[in-house]
Chains A and B, each alone.
Chain A
Amino acid sequence: KQEVTQIPAALSVPEGENLVLNCSFTDSAIYNLQWFRQDPGKGLTSLLLIQSSQREQTSGRLNASLDKSSGRSTLYIAASQPGDSATYLCAVSRDSSASKIIFGSGTRLSIRP
């Protein structure tokens, strides 16, 4: 049974710092992995999607890496800003239909001005 773990549950850093969020999964037979952002009381916004054949994806100040063999993914945020404060969720899918996406419980990130 696939389990997705995100550590730490909460993180607070001063503005301007580079930071890394971690995600681990127990079953390496994944189809893809997604990182989402969730603001309080809001829905999820897809940040980056990495297919199982890929090693990383980049979008602006965000870079996500995937190491299937070790069951790990990291989300790197460069030059953090207060507007980056949100909960970041990692989710893995076992097939192309996305019907069984398994979510981690998230890392609540706070960027201090």
Chain B
Amino acid sequence: NAGVMQNPRHLVRRRGQEARLRCSPMKGHSHVYWYRQLPEEGLKFMVYLQKENIIDESGMPKERFSAEFPKEGPSILRIQQVVRGDSAAYFCASSPPRGQGAVGELFFGEGSRLTVL
């Protein structure tokens, strides 16, 4: 049973370009969360999605950032017109549906590290 898969693991972009980060949750998991970790800081919640729905995007910047979790395929975090301050590690986590597994337990991917030149 594969864990949470994120790609790319490393991404380099120049200022103004777009970054697309992908996350495939664990098999059977229907909830996906995105977090951002700046150097020497803790993880900050960005967005929580279920299939085809954004449940909570209160942690995501209002501009340039968007997320989706389509019916088929991985969840995607999209950053448009990247700036140097977007350089960070972006982690995806998934959790099982209610009634399965330990409630509220998260399983993390290994992260996508974005560097903006």
Contacts and interface: CB of A to CB of B under 8 A. Distances in A.
A70 interface: no
Where chain B touches its partner, the secondary structure class is strand
Contacts of B43: 44, 89, 91, 103
A89 B104 contact: no
Q: How large is the interface on A (under 10, 10 to 19, 20 to 34, 35 or more residues)?
A: 20 to 34
Contact of A101 (B98, B106, B107, B109): B106
Contacts of B48: 97-99
Given A49-B104, A99-B56, 18 more contacts: A34-B104, A36-B108, A42-B110, A43-B91, A43-B109, A44-B91, A46-B107, A49-B102, A49-B105, A95-B104, A98-B95, A98-B106, A99-B33, A99-B48, A101-B33, A103-B35, A105-B42, A106-B42
Interface of B: 4, 6, 31, 33, 35, 41-45, 48, 55-56, 91, 93, 95, 98, 102-111, 113
